[in-house]
Amino acid sequence: MLYQLHEWQRAFLGPLSHYAEASARMLTDPSSPLAQLPGAQRMAAGYELIHRLGKDYEKPTFDIHSITNPQGNEIAIIERIDLETPFCQLRRFKRFSDDPETIEKMKSEPVVLVVAPLSGHHATLLRDTARSLLLDHKVYITDWIDARMVPASMGAFHLDDYVATIEKFIRHIGAESLHVISVCQPTVPVLAAISLMAARGEATPRSMTMMGGPIDPRRSPTSVNNLATQQPLSWFRGNVIHTVPTNYPGHGREVYPGFLQHAGFVAMNPGRHLSSHWDFYLNLLRGDLDDAEAHRKFYDEYNAVLDMPAEYYLDTINTVFQQFLLPRGLWEVNGERVDPSAIKRTSLLTIEGELDDISGIGQTEAAHDLCTGIPTSRRAHRVVEGAGHYGIFSGRRWREVVYPQVRDFIRRSDMALVSTKRA
């Protein structure tokens, strides 16, 4: 019923939001007589704020059409779906150039799979991550599908299915030459997928980079971890799981709705969001269009959320945050025990933000205690000073501090593997 009430609210606010948007434009368009009225700018700022608070935020696009490589050559980017499952699309950012030397260089560059979180926001949150990686790598990314758009006839999606999806994508791309980067939530299923592949004797990726993820949430628990442990699993099922209404393809499917997740995100820092919207209003009054546009871009991404399958969400709460099955060595996926010590060929890099309030210090580093089969010479850990959760994969710190370390680690992993084969 809560989901249906939310849809009624959207239906009510929709016309108001469109009216506010149209009014703001009429009051700011230089060719409009209304823009010349006293107080027009103040009224326009208020109308735009109303519009943005009431509008429906659709999934953003990656919007990566070209990059300029370190040599100064412009490279065209075409985004395509390389493989698709009912709940996820494997996207590739295919690079093109008309410079022969650039083409030859790109052919020899490492292949990277970026595993994006299925935890509320869309994979486009990693746009900055993908854009940086494209400078020196062939890049694939997991683009998870909003569960409300997946017909109930496609069946359930559990955490075990998430692990199987990662395995499928790794095999499709080719593990022998692949490097996997997981950001936040997927560090756990990615470690499980590679562990299972190693235990079966399958080829595993050349390296895995894990960034700000809950490998062992018992270390430096945050407010996110505390919420998961303070309530029994039955509380989550009874309070945050709802049924998709009839106006979506996935009607009848049980999900953790995106609008509830968004409310949780905002509740973590309500003062910061209130201040940000007030600053946006003041920037519009002052005519500070650059800062106003930066606000729009951030919240276009931040406010766009997706529904998660209920089975997957509850599995994650139980397996990762309540029973800690991975670090305790007790996790089984489809009857197979997850044993990270079976990984021997794959190099490991873990990255944490000093100020991360979602995955606390030490939670990602815990992967080193589990991956004992990887020689210490092929393992590394980095803590990014002054960085919060998002700062380790997006923004200035990511581009200037973190990305160079990730790039160099991938190169060293390639060279280490080549040296081993020659020996």
How many whole angstroms separate alpha carbon 407 and alpha carbon 136? 8
How many whole angstroms separate alpha carbon 97 and alpha carbon 76? 6
pTM: 0.91
Tokens 């018992």 correspond to what residue? Answer: 218
CB contact set of 142 (below 8 Å; sequence gap of 6+): 88, 89, 90, 91, 113, 114, 115, 116, 123, 165, 166, 169, 186
Per DSSP, 152 falls in state G
CA distances from 337 to 325, 326, 341 (A): 10, 10, 11
3-state helix, strand, coil in the chain (%, to 5): 50, 15, 30
Instruction: Give residue 420's pLDDT.
Output: 58
Give the pair of three-digit tokens for residue 111: 């292949």
Kind and range of the H or E run holding 22: helix 2-28
Q: Phi, psi (5° rounding) for residue 266?
A: -65, -40
Environment class of residue 182 by beta-carbon count within 10 Å: exposed (0-12), middle (13-18) or buried (19+)?
buried
How many whole angstroms separate alpha carbon 32 and alpha carbon 11? 29
CB contact set of 252 (below 8 Å; sequence gap of 6+): 152, 243, 244
Domains (ranges, CATH) in the chain?
A: 66-235+308-422 (3.40.50.1820)
How many whole angstroms separate alpha carbon 390 and alpha carbon 398? 9
Do 364 and 216 meet the contact criterion of CB atoms below 8 Å apart?
Answer: no
Nearest residue to 351 via CA among 412, 284, 407, 421: 407
Q: Would you tell me the crossing angle of helices 159-173 and 187-199 to the nearest 10 degrees?
A: 60
How many whole angstroms separate alpha carbon 355 and alpha carbon 397? 13
What digits encode the pLDDT tens for the residues 336-387?
Answer: 999 999 999 999 999 999 999 889 999 999 999 999 999 999 999 999 999 9
The radius of gyration of the chain's CA atoms, rounded to the nearest angstrom, is: 23
How many whole angstroms separate alpha carbon 258 and alpha carbon 63? 23
CB contact set of 292 (below 8 Å; sequence gap of 6+): 280, 283, 284
Q: Phi, psi (5° rounding) for residue 413?
A: -65, -40
How many whole angstroms separate alpha carbon 149 and alpha carbon 152? 9
How many whole angstroms separate alpha carbon 281 and alpha carbon 299? 14
Task: Identify the segments of the chain with pLDDT beneath 50.
Answer: 422-423
How many whole angstroms separate alpha carbon 83 and alpha carbon 203? 20
What digits encode the pLDDT tens for the residues 242-262?
Answer: 999 998 999 999 999 998 888
Tokens 């065209």 correspond to what residue? Answer: 76
How many whole angstroms separate alpha carbon 320 and alpha carbon 119? 13
CA distances from 112 to 105, 170, 180, 205 (A): 16, 10, 6, 10
